[in-house]
Structure 1
């Protein structure tokens, strides 16, 4: 009997919230503001636990943090000095005042747009298909780019993200999703007691401005070694120069394998009653541990503690436009961009 379902309602003045529920009782709420995930509510021992960070209205995102749960693009992460070259053509993008770099595609990018949306249903999943046309020259990027991001919730308790894009000129494209997990559902608890597994032998070293330096360093004998599941406190309590630099993690991990046979990362709740497995075809995952200090926003009535969330941002590693061996993020008009990431909930 088919019991997956989908509904929608207003989410502030101009946005719409879509609610997807599967036959296991998991509910995923997503919105057309930034093609973002707002809630991921999982039944655990008779309670409904929201395991991601999010806000209750579109206006809260605009006021507090536009990256929570959003689709990021055109390019996730930082491009140093906003400079890149394609086919001997030099481009200069708008940069921030703090460090003179561009972050997550620049100001008012994918995360701030109202995307077109349509819903789809089948026997084993419900989906929302988001689409956005980024005009030629938006934030300095060349070419008109048609982006499609599909969120599906399956009866296997999977949240599937499918990315597609085409462009009419050679351009850069390296999207991700900026979801923050906290599997306790309690934003006043640090994720330090969460266990993390990451199938990665190397990470990208970052400099003082958090851009990659070009060095790929072995995780062995560092606090960044999660090849065996370990508590995140091993990073927060260590005096290693890379985690002290950013007060946690804000680093690309280079994955040992990609695909959908075995997970590349696993987050496990402190009480071991819930875990989330990550599967991706992307070669790297940027892990950020929400080191907002005292500046963390109020999330659903709770003040967000420092290190109160954890991202798994699947992508080609930042630095790809600067350094050989970091990957290629050029999208040509002859190519359709396709990528998939799956988060599987085990409860």
Structure 2
């Protein structure tokens, strides 16, 4: 077994692109702009297939969509009205003028930062360590937060994401990765023919602005039941009210189990020649089906079709600062945050 290959090149004015290739010919490209995945290229029947949505330059991300493939933080998802309390101390974050909420930590959060990089090479994997110090008060959050995200790429065709963080004041922390998968490699094909498995008995109901209502609803007898692998079209081709509210999936699914013994979610390509398994220690996954309508960006020379990607955003469920039973995202100085998610290509 050889050491995996890694190269780097300029990706724009400030960003660097790191290219990691394993013994099986899979290539993962990542960048320090937003500690993000740019490409995941898999050889299938002698042809290369890029199975994640991404852009070719730093400028493309800055002008088209900053969330594609990025590390999201300090807090993934929506904080309703941008307000929360820690130990009876009230905080107000900047909110979006469109809906009055704070999304993904607010504007110019983790996804927009140039992260420090350290590369570590081992016999069976390459690790790219991204680090960023978020100053106290950034986007309204208390505490200086030292965040570290490690991407490991292995000869077992695994992309391992390890998150770590420390703070000097009580704050909120609930990161995720905003990777979009399209296992056909064709951005003009919607993901409706993909098959989806999710080990989840319950999902969080959302309102018309996609904030959670506090209700956890059984997936039984709904189009959101993926406890057995089913076509994603079962969501798109229904008038179920939770689908019609957001025109697809933009929902937290509460996972039945966590850990790394068996996958909590699996996406399979329409021809069943490729699948991605998700393993996580987080209690929930937000699944979003890229309902951009006709407003989707060009992706590698192709116009992104509506529902042209699907995310598996592992995290503590949005609503944790509001509702009992949704989890706890408060990070205290005496605690080090750690979590892991693995995507395995098969």
TM-score range, shorter chain: over 0.9
Q: Give the 3-state SS of the residue equivalent to 2:201 in structure 1.
A: strand
Q: How do 1:1-347 and structure 2 match up within 5 A?
A: 1-346=1-346
| C-alpha separation in 2, matches of 1:136 and 1:25 | 43
Q: Give the 3-state SS of the residue equivalent to 1:294 in structure 2.
A: helix
The answer as to whether partners of 2:31 and 2:37 remain within 8 angstroms in 1 is yes
Gap runs ≥5 in structure 1: none
- Structure 1 segments, 4+ long, off by >4 Å, are none
How far the C-alpha of 1:297 sits from its partner, in A, is: 0.2
How far the C-alpha of 1:308 sits from its partner, in A, is: 0.1
Summarize deviations over 1:177-228 as a string: whole Å, max 9, x none.
Answer: 0000000000000000000000000000001111000000000000000001
Query: What TM-score results when the alignment is normalised by the length of structure 2?
Result: 1.00
How far the C-alpha of 1:150 sits from its partner, in A, is: 0.2
Q: Give the 3-state SS of the residue equivalent to 2:192 in structure 1.
A: helix
How far the C-alpha of 1:5 sits from its partner, in A, is: 1.1
| C-alpha separation in 2, matches of 1:295 and 1:90 | 37
Summarize deviations over 1:283-336 as a string: whole Å, max 9, x none.
Answer: 000000000000000000000000000000000000000000000000000000
The answer as to whether partners of 2:3 and 2:125 remain within 8 angstroms in 1 is no
How far the C-alpha of 1:98 sits from its partner, in A, is: 1.1
Q: Give the 3-state SS of the residue equivalent to 1:105 in structure 2.
A: coil
How far the C-alpha of 1:118 sits from its partner, in A, is: 1.0
Summarize deviations over 1:231-268 as a string: whole Å, max 9, x none.
Answer: 00000001000010000000000000000000000000
Q: Give the 3-state SS of the residue equivalent to 1:276 in structure 2.
A: strand
The answer as to whether partners of 2:3 and 2:122 remain within 8 angstroms in 1 is no
Query: What TM-score results when the alignment is normalised by the length of structure 1?
Result: 0.99
Gap runs ≥5 in structure 2: none
Q: Give the 3-state SS of the residue equivalent to 1:39 in structure 2.
A: strand
How far the C-alpha of 1:3 sits from its partner, in A, is: 4.1
Equivalent residues, number? 346
Q: Over the residues paired in the alignment, what is the CA RMSD in angstroms?
A: 0.4
| C-alpha separation in 2, matches of 1:99 and 1:56 | 31
| C-alpha separation in 1, matches of 2:150 and 2:44 | 26
Q: Give the 3-state SS of the residue equivalent to 1:254 in structure 2.
A: strand
